[in-house]
């Protein structure tokens, strides 16, 4: 996410390093580099023009604070203006009525149906009772897709007669009242392009249910076409916010920086993976921090809190203090971490992660380790010392991995236990002498 933009803004910062004061010359050079990086990231030209003008006015002639170097002063200005550009604060969903109806709209191929399920999963975790509504009767298998997704997150899907969208929506609202449902999420039909028939149907559904939210789902990878579509949908429906999908696969991200300024409406969520839990609330301040390579520790901590079992974490802490953890414990921790998302997405939340762009996070390696541990017997997992050569061969055969990987895993696990024991005895100094310490 924003990889190219991070890199180019970092270069702009370098032009200011070592300067005693932000001058006309050095600020002009830095601003020009930021301008080009934003345009290359596919940010709307007018948005870039206005943004650069404000940054330049605020930076020129500014005295560098005693505690700040010119590049820090400049990055502070950029950070605040990026937040301003994206909306300053997180805009939460507005649940006014019960049942609260939320319409999801957008073009075909934007990921609307998958996003409906992701949003249902996210709302359900907050303790609300949710229902999905399959109102897309035109795209082949759209209803079946939503039913499959609904089963995977244990959320009911209302399909009605599977033919008439207005009747399906009407029936779903009656069903929601009957079953005391809190939130109804309506997956509406999309098209490959905006047409009158689609808009008329969406307007009719909107008038019928009077939704608390109309969220437009946008594919972040299609750049300024997405911004134009967002504007058109907003003009017709008065959307309440946007959900950007495929943010994990887009290194430009210009849509995220353009949409608030162009439409006046906020981004409420971003899609970060294809999994049903791959949806995050959009925080402008955290996103600005990511763009500037400063990480996003708050989001990382929130992911940890959502995925880690508190009781398990306490038990694990006790085992680590005594260095008595087993391969079963190790496997459990790996699975907990994987629930948080890909290692690459977690890495970018760490401050300075842009400097680690050459580090390869091999997801397959983690799966191989899981396969190796699962090929061990319960006795071997709890006491790896019993694993001799013949057992290693059996584990290698059972996991489909080379014998050398079994030996390496056992060595690394043994080293880790020794390291934890030494840290518990001597503190951080205990890491001295270990290759990764």
Quick: pLDDT tens for 264-295.
999 999 888 788 888 889 988 888 887 776 65
Report the C-alpha gap between 206 and 208 in whole angstroms. 5
| Cα gap 195→191, rounded to integer Å | 8
Spans of all domains in the chain: 3-86, 100-293, 304-431
d(CA 312, CA 318): 10
Q: What is the mean pLDDT of residues 369-390?
A: 92
Which pLDDT score, from 0 to 100, does residue 429 have? 45
Q: Do the beta carbons of residue 19 and residue 28 sit within 8 Å?
A: no
Higher pLDDT, 417 or 99: 99
**Cα separation of 420 and 422, whole Å?**
5
Helix axes 363-374, 389-399, angle to 10 degrees: 120
Alpha helices in 45-164 (DSSP H): 45-59, 70-86, 112-125, 142-153
Q: Residue 428 CA to chain centroid, in angstroms?
A: 33
Q: What is the per-residue pLDDT across 166-219, written as a single tens digit (0 to 9) for each?
A: 999 999 999 999 999 999 999 999 877 788 888 899 999 999 999 999 999 998
* Superfamily name and number for 3-86: SRP54, nucleotide-binding domain (1.20.120.140)
Q: Which uninterrupted H or E stretch holds 293?
A: none
Q: Please check whether the domain covering 100-293 is classified as CATH 3.10.180.10.
A: no
pLDDT (mean) for 78-102 = 90
Segment 378-388 mean pLDDT: 91
The Cα–Cα gap between 437 and 435 comes to 6
Is the bond into 295 cis (omega within 30 degrees of 0)?
no
Beta strand 279-281 pairing with 267-271: antiparallel
Contact between 160 and 168 under an 8 Å Cβ cutoff? The reply is: yes
Chain centroid to CA 359: how far?
Answer: 20
Report the CATH fold assignment for 304-431.
Answer: 434 Repressor (Amino-terminal Domain) (1.10.260)
Rg (CA), the chain: 26
Selection from 50-59, 136-145, 247-256, 266-275 with the highest mean pLDDT:
136-145
Q: Average of pLDDT values for 292-299?
A: 60
């Amino acid at each position: 996410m924003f990889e190219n933009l991070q890199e180019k803004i970092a270069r702009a910062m370098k032009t200011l390093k070592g300067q005693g004061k932000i001058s006309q010359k050095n600020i002009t050079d830095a601003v020009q580099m930021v301008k080009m990086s934003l345009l290359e990231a596919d940010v709307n030209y007018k948005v870039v023009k206005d943004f650069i003008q404000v940054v330049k006015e605020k930076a020129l002639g500014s005295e560098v604070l005693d505690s700040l170097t010119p590049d820090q002063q400049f990055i502070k200005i950029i950070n605040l203006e990026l937040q301003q550009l994206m909306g300053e604060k997180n805009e939460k969903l507005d649940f006014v009525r019960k049942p609260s109806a939320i319409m999801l709209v957008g073009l075909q191929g934007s990921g609307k149906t998958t996003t409906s399920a992701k949003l249902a999963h996210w709302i359900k975790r907050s303790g609300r009772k949710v229902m999905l509504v399959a109102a897309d009767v035109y795209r082949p298998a759209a209803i079946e897709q939503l039913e499959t997704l609904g089963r995977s997150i244990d959320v009911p899907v209302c399909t009605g007669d599977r033919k008439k969208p207005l009747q399906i929506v009407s029936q779903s609202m009656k069903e929601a009242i009957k079953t005391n449902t809190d939130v109804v999420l309506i997956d509406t039909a999309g098209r490959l392009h905006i047409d009158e028939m689609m808009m008329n149907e969406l307007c009719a559904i909107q008038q019928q249910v009077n939704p608390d939210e109309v969220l437009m789902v946008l594919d972040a990878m299609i750049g300024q076409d997405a911004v134009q579509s967002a504007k058109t949908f907003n003009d017709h429906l008065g959307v309440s916010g946007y959900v950007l999908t495929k943010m994990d696969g887009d290194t430009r991200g210009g849509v995220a920086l353009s949409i608030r300024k162009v439409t006046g409406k906020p981004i409420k969520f971003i899609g970060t993976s294809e999994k049903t839990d791959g949806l995050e609330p959009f925080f402008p301040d955290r996103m600005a921090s990511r763009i500037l390579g400063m990480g996003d520790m708050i989001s990382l901590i929130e992911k940890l809190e959502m995925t880690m079992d508190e009781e398990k974490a306490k038990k694990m802490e006790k085992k680590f203090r005594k260095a008595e953890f087993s391969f079963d414990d190790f496997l459990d921790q790996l699975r907990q971490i994987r629930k948080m998302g890909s290692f690459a997405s977690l890495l970018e939340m760490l401050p300075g992660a842009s400097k680690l762009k050459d580090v390869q996070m091999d997801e397959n390696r983690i799966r191989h380790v899981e396969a190796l541990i699962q090929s061990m017997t319960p006795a071997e997992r709890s006491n790896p010392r019993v694993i001799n050569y013949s057992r290693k061969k059996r584990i290698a055969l059972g996991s489909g991995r080379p014998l050398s990987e079994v030996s390496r895993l056992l060595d690394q696990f043994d080293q880790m236990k020794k390291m934890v024991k030494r840290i518990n005895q001597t503190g951080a100094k205990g890491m001295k002498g270990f290759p990764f310490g």
